[in-house]
A and B are shown apart, each in its own frame.
Chain A
Amino acid sequence: MASYTLNINNQNLTVNAEPDTPLLWVLRDELDLTGTKFGCGMALCGACTVHLDGNSVRSCSTPVSSVGDKKVTTIEGVSVGTAEGKLHPVQQAWMDENVPQCGYCQTGQIMSAIALLDKNPNPSDSDIDSGMAGNICRCGTYERIRKAIKRAANTTAK
Chain B
Amino acid sequence: MKTEIYEHKIFKVSRRDFLKTTSMSMSGLLLGMQFSCTDTSKKLTGNPSTVFSPNVYININGNGDVILFAHRSEMGTGIRTSLPLVMADELEADWSRVKVEQATGDEKYGDQNTDGSYSLRMFFMPLRKAGATVRLMLEQAAAKEWNVDVSECKAQNHEVVHTSGKAFGFGYLAEKAVALPIPDESKIKLKDSKDFKFITKQSSIVDLKDIVTGKAKFGLDTKLPNTKIAVIKRNPEAGAGLILFKMEAAMKVPGVIKVFSIDAPGFPTNFNKPLGGVVVVAENTWAALKGREALEVTWAKGINADYNSLEYGNDMLKRAKTKGKVRRANGNIDQALSKAKKIVEADYVVPHLVHTPMETPCAVAHFHDNTCEVWAPVQDPQGTRKSLADALKIDLKAVTVNVTLLGGGFGRKSKPDFVVEAALISKDMGTPIKILWTREDDIQHGFYHFPSAQHLKVGIDENNKVSGWLHRSVFPSIGGTANPASVEPSGDELNLGMIDLPYAIDNISCETQEAKTKIRIGWLRSVSNIQHAYAVGCTIDEVAHARGVDPVQNILDMLGEDRLIDAKVLGSEFQNYGQKSEDFPWNTRRFRKVIETAKEKSGWGKSLPKGSGQGFAVHRSFLTYVACVVEVAVDANNKIKIIKVDYAVDCGIPVNPERIKSQFEGGAAFAASLAMKSEITVVKSAVQQSNFHDYQVARMADAPYETAVHIIDSNEKPTGVGEPPVPPFIPALCNAIFAATGKRIRKLPISLA
Residues of chain A having any CB pair with chain B under 8 Å: 1, 17-18, 20-22, 25, 28-30, 32-42, 44-45, 47, 74-76, 79, 87, 91, 94-95, 98-107, 110, 125, 128-130, 132-133, 135-146
Contact = CB atoms under 8 A, between A and B. Distances in A.
Nearest to A147: B706
A41 B699 CA distance: 18
B692 A136 contact: yes
Given A28-B285, A102-B406, A102-B408, 6 more contacts: A21-B286, A91-B213, A100-B76, A103-B210, A106-B211, A140-B667
A18 B440 CA distance: 23
Interface residues of B, number: 69
A121 B436 CA distance: 38
20 contacts: A17-B286, A18-B254, A21-B284, A28-B220, A34-B221, A42-B693, A45-B692, A95-B204, A98-B208, A102-B358, A103-B76, A103-B210, A103-B216, A103-B405, A104-B405, A106-B212, A136-B692, A137-B669, A138-B670, A141-B666
Nearest to B355: A138
Given A34-B220, A98-B658, A140-B703, A18 B214 contact: no
B285 A25 contact: yes
A35 B210 CA distance: 10
The 10 closest A-B pairs by CB, nearest first: A35-B214, A140-B669, A104-B407, A102-B76, A101-B76, A140-B666, A103-B211, A75-B214, A44-B692, A129-B701
Contacts of B289: 41
A151 B620 CA distance: 36
B334 to A, nearest CB: 44
A95 to B, nearest CB: 6
A79 B216 CA distance: 16
B700 A133 contact: yes
A138 B703 contact: no
Contacts of A22: 286
A140 B670 contact: yes
B358 A44 contact: no
For the complex, would chain B's binding face be called helix, strand, loop or mixed by DSSP majority?
loop
Interface in B190-223: 204-205, 207-218, 220-221, 223
B438 interface: yes
B469 interface: no
Contacts of B286: 17-18, 20-22, 25, 29
B662 interface: yes
B675 interface: no
Nearest to A77: B214
Given A105-B358, A106-B211, A138-B357, A128 B700 contact: yes
B356 interface: yes
B410 to A, nearest CB: 7
Contacts of A39: 358-360, 439
Contacts of A47: 358
Nearest to B443: A40
B78 interface: yes
Nearest to B701: A129
A79 to B, nearest CB: 7
B705 interface: yes
Nearest to B670: A140
B174 interface: no
B703 A143 contact: yes
A30 B255 CA distance: 13
B215 A35 contact: yes
Interface in B627-679: 658, 662-663, 665-670, 672-673
B706 A101 contact: no
Contacts of B360: 38-39
B703 A142 contact: yes
